[in-house]
Amino acid sequence: MSGHPPGPDPLLHVHNTARFFTENRQIAWVLLVATLLWGVYGYMGMAKRKDPVVPVLYAAAICPWPGASAEKIEQLVTRRIEERIAENARVERIESTSRGSVAIILIALDERTEDARKELDDIALRLAAIRDLPAGAGPIEFQKDFGDTAALMLTVASPPVNGIELELRARGIREAIESTRQGATGTRATVVVPFPVSIAPSIAARQRDIIVTALTARDLGRDIRTFDGPGFVGADIETTLDDEALASGVRTLIDENLLPAELPPDVWPPVLVRDPKDTQARMAAVAGDKYTYRDLDRFTDQIKRVLQTVPQVSKITRAGLLPEQIYLEYSQERLASYGLQLTKLADILRARNITVPGGILDVRGKRVAIDPSGEFTSESQIGDVLVGTTAEGRPIYLRDGVQVVRAYQTPARYLNYYQARGADGTFHRSRAVTLAVQMRPGEQIAAFGEAVDAALADLRASGLPHDLIVDRPSDQPLQVRESVDLFMRSLYEAIILVILVALVGFWEWRAALLMALAIPLTLAMTFGMMHVLHVDVQQVSIASLIIALGLLVDDPVVAGDAIKRELQAGRPPILAAWLGPTRLATAILFATITNIVAYLPFLLISGNIGKFIYSLPVVLACSLVASRIVSMTFIPLLGYYLLRPSRTPEPPIEHRRAHGVTGAYYRLAGWALDHRWATLAVAMLLLVATLAASRGIRIQFFPKDLAYLSYVDVWLPEDATLSATRERAGAAEAVIRRVAAEFGRTHTGEDGKARAVLESLTTFVGGGGPRFWFSVAPELFQPNYAQIIIKVGDKHDTRLLVPLLQRALAAEVAGARIDVRELENGKPVGIPVAVRLSGDNPAELRRMAEGVKAIFRSVPKADRVRDDWGADSFSVKLQVDSDKANLAGVSNLDVALSSVTGMNGYPLTVLREGDQQIPVVARLRPEERARITDVQNLYVYSQVSSQRVPLRQVSEVTYAMQTEKIRRRNQFRTISVSAFPVPGALPSEVLRAARPKLDAFARTMPPGYRFVIGGEYEEQVKGFRQLAIVMLVSVSAIFMALVFQFRNVIKPLIVYSAIPFGVAGALLGLDVMGAPFGFMAFLGIASLVGVIVSHVIVLFDFIEERHEHGAPFREALLDAGIVRLRPVMVTVGATVFGLVPLAMHGGPLWEGLCYTQIAGLTIATGVTLVLVPVLYAIFVQDLKWLAWEEASSPPAIEAAPVEPA
């Protein structure tokens, strides 16, 4: 290199890796190939994911207590369970919901917990030790896997009845109607109830007979003739009503005389037929599904068993199954006439339905097992049980007093539906069962997906019906493949842009080719390190590589340029190849260390955020280390073969001061040095103005994910039944389909035609679906809740479609609270704006909640303001008169048991079929428990005698309003007031507008009550606090490194002077692009420090080098800037342009980080080249805080110094 003092060069005696790789080229080539193979092996061996692994450290405990009120459950069940759970030291949060008949407790472990299974096992043992729950409560179900996220969701749904089956069934019904009407007169109409052939005709016939009786009583028709056939029952009546009036009357009769929730779900809606020729058309309008719930149970069980054999599959759960039960439906009067009581009946059936072995007998050296008969093998055997005799000695069988009905569990507790576009382009809603398939830890998601695909293909070919619908609402293998492909494409584009920048900057193909070869070598070594450190390939790790591109090319550019300088000075290639990189080794090593030190403190971020971004500092550090190794090993090797001295000599520094871009820089920087105080004043004014303007930037902790999926929460009042929730969910589905179709017409495809935007809807009623996204916690046992998973064909449509759906659903679906939600990124926050009020008195909590709701409602940008307790619900209370009960020979317990038995059923025994146990339950006939007044008609049976008495004689039925749901947080009653921002607004804007009034409200709260702002704000404060500490650690560590490098305290302060301008530039970039300031933007600003400082370090190194060569102070500052101009522009250009693909394709998560780094680095570069020399001059010439000894005479300038990047 030119510019070093003449005489023997001490570096000629250095032996380092650069020299070894140049002089031992065969070994070097072997190591180069090995490095590439290591990188390929590492990349292929790394697990591929969409997002980093962030364990969801949640569990759930569920304790039923049928018939108990929410307040009683809270006091006697929930609090006991909470106290036991809180004994575990790693529990961070306990949230409970006490509802009528059930307590649900969610447990969140500390995010720093290392062994979650150990802690969950400890909690399970503590819960199992609870022995003081009230009678009838329990058992406690502890779900340790509540936080597990399904790698794949398979929804298995029934297709609609096909045309051939519909035609055959319509023909049979038409013939039955024509036969029934023979000889009839007058205007007639027929009500037909079709059902699958697998359902017992007696079930549908009974429903028909009840309706017929009610039709007669209501005088809606006369001359009623009933009929039945394979798969249908019907009634033909003479009526003067039109179709609409008759259909309305039938619906009213069903609601009044039957329990709609107990209608068999496989039964089609009633069909009204006037002309028998219209039978098929009328049936097509209400056609049901081809396969029953029993069929879906069989199909999904088959799929589950097959997939369990796949090595990569760990666990499979099914959601949406409708279990079967055998009901012994009785009439109180008929049962009493035989002298039967349910408690005695249970003893009889248990004694008959035995599974007790008969022992083992040794006979002549052989062991013979004795198996006594008696176990029920079919429901008909239950009816054949002898339960007594009449006075005449005639046997009484169970079937004489009850009707044995095998049916699905009614009312249903949880249902699953699926909708997708059929071959005719229309949507069909069908019953479904969803399988949540978990992947074994450590397995490759791609291998998992391929194995599952192969298993399903074999199963489809051999066992499943060809028309059975098997869809994937959530498909992580596909999501991972798309995500990895997208980010890898962004990486390739970034590499191309970086090479183009270098080619333009150096305008010499050999240097550009050298850098182009250095990139895959560095990436290969980085992949190898990542594999050793168990870092997965996912969006954060790949984005980290893209961010690192501008940094990792720095060392190879410097090394290659140094080799070129040595060649230009006349060194032989074998010497220049290693001597050039060796000359700058120390300065660049400190710059590399500075960048590593800037990123490594991010490892101090704890909790889920730390786990989410863990791979960012690790991958950046690996890439920087790899870059340093490559620049001192393979770059000398490749430079020996590629680089040649330029044919035209480098222009002298005097020429560069006066001509071209460097001349313009010399004049600008020279003017700034001559007017340094004015320059500093203007810079400070611009800095203050930029920071002041940035106060208007909106804040968003983490953006929403760019995904194909979104979901809808549908909430009805707390006392709503599942059938009502199902009806409202169906109405919401219709609105979603319509809005999506309108969106497709207004947002056409490339051909100008309407697009099919919506792919499918998967609905879960009575609770949430399986956890398909790490931040979406399923709602458990909520009859008033439904979740609709929306899947679109283009994930960019989701963000635009969500506000349209929210507006339409809120306006058109009455009687329900509906929230359309996008999937979250990073740290989930759930409800975006929330205020928690904790205390003891429910009435006071409700009063305060109303005050907070009034505050939010006054904010124009706030929408959907509500609390999470809901309104009080209607309840029926039995006030038992103890004196009357005692005189009648019954107790309070007898009254309670009679009520719960009559309304909900009494379990008697079980019927075993294979590995299934079907409960046998006794309950009143539907017509005897369809109205509230039927409670008073119940009989109370004594448990100690045969005494029975009408309920109305020993108790009074009263009606009242009571709290249906009580929420608690960390063992205190807590009511949360929540709000959502209007479309286009952010949660931070809502809270900023409401904050003054909220603070004033908090000051007026009575003692003993707590006010906490939750939602996004709570998580944001935690995250920003951690990041601020990390940034402080990073800045301090870099400062200490600079002090040791410069052996001076003042110079590091000058180095740091560029940082505020980089921060201001970053904020300006966010403002210009309209992006909010969030965690990733904060991360981008924090990571700017190392990049800025590394540039200033090398600038200072050149200033000192010119000083050692005797250059005057002013020329030393300006010459260093001239020398650094091109390499800085190349490096900064590589970093900035390398981030463009990530900003364009990486999604909302990476936009803030890219904008801050692009703008901040661009502005900081100008500051580094102009303002840093100005500050240096002020500290030397004006403040005299730094010494500078001028040489007696100017030195001869041989050539410009080496240009490191």
Q: Does one domain contain both 635 and 660?
A: no
How many residues does this entry show for the chain? 1205
Q: List the CATH number of the domain containing 1202.
A: 1.20.1640.10
Strands 188-194 and 271-273: antiparallel
- Tokens at 386, concatenated: 């002898």
Q: Which residues pair with 141 in a beta bridge?
A: 62
- Whole-angstrom distance, CA of residue 1184 vs CA of residue 1177: 9
The pair phi, psi for residue 78, each rounded to 5°, is -60, -45
- Return the pLDDT at 5: 45
8 A C-beta contact, residue 430 and residue 157: yes
Q: Does one domain contain both 17 and 70?
A: no
Q: Does one domain contain both 272 and 365?
A: no
Give the total number of structural domains in the chain: 5
Burial 1020-1030 (b: 16+ CB within 10 A, else e): beebbebbeeb
- Whole-angstrom distance, CA of residue 620 vs CA of residue 1086: 14
Please check whether residue 233 lies inside any domain of the structure: yes
Q: Does one domain contain both 637 and 676?
A: no
Q: Does one domain contain both 641 and 674?
A: no
Please check whether residue 468 lies inside any domain of the structure: no
Q: List the CATH number of the domain containing 403.
A: 3.30.2090.10
Give pTM, 2 decimals: 0.88
8 A C-beta contact, residue 694 and residue 1068: yes
Distances (CA, A) of 822 to 54, 119, 483, 790, 864: 19, 32, 18, 10, 16
- Tokens at 811, concatenated: 């306006």
- Return the pLDDT at 1202: 43
The residue among 808, 810, 805 whose CA lies nearest residue 821 is: 805
Please check whether residue 872 lies inside any domain of the structure: no
Residues of the chain with confidence (pLDDT) below 50: 1-6, 1193-1205
Please return the burial class of 198, using the count of CB atoms within 10 Å of its CB with bins 0-12, 13-18 and 19+: exposed
Q: Does one domain contain both 1078 and 1101?
A: yes
- Return the pLDDT at 1205: 39
Q: Does one domain contain both 270 and 384?
A: no
Task: List, as one string, the DSSP characters of 1105-1162.
Answer: HHHHTT--HHHHHHHHHHHHHHHHHHHHHHHHHHHHHHHHHS-HHHHHHHHHHHHHHH
Residue 465: CB atoms within 10 A of its CB come to: 13
Q: Does one domain contain both 141 and 267?
A: no
- Return the pLDDT at 950: 82
- Whole-angstrom distance, CA of residue 320 vs CA of residue 56: 24
Q: List the CATH number of the domain containing 120.
A: 3.30.70.1430
- Whole-angstrom distance, CA of residue 875 vs CA of residue 1020: 42
- Return the pLDDT at 130: 93
- Return the pLDDT at 986: 93
- Whole-angstrom distance, CA of residue 315 vs CA of residue 305: 11
The residue among 415, 479, 470, 474 whose CA lies nearest residue 711 is: 474
Please check whether residue 992 lies inside any domain of the structure: no
Q: List the CATH number of the domain containing 262.
A: 3.30.70
Distances (CA, A) of 416 to 324, 429, 805: 16, 10, 21
Please check whether residue 989 lies inside any domain of the structure: no
8 A C-beta contact, residue 1077 and residue 1152: yes
Please check whether residue 858 lies inside any domain of the structure: no
Q: Does one domain contain both 242 and 347?
A: no
Which of 267, 285, 303 corresponds to the end of one domain?
285
Q: Does one domain contain both 377 and 255?
A: no
- The residue segments making up the domain with residue 386 are 324-408
3-class SS shares of the chain: helix, strand, coil, % to 5: 55, 20, 30
The HSE-up count of residue 63 (CA atoms within 13 Å, CB side) is 30
Please check whether residue 579 lies inside any domain of the structure: yes
Q: Does one domain contain both 1057 and 1197?
A: yes
- Tokens at 1152, concatenated: 């803030």
Please check whether residue 1026 lies inside any domain of the structure: no
The CA radius of gyration of the chain, in Å to the nearest whole number, is: 39
Q: How many helices (H) and strands (E) does the chain have?
A: 41, 34
8 A C-beta contact, residue 952 and residue 879: no
873 SS3 class = strand
| 1090-1103 pLDDT tens trace | 788 877 877 887 78
Which of 613, 646, 679 corresponds to the end of one domain?
646
Q: Does one domain contain both 169 and 277?
A: yes
Which of 392, 408, 424 corresponds to the end of one domain?
408
- Whole-angstrom distance, CA of residue 1067 vs CA of residue 1063: 6
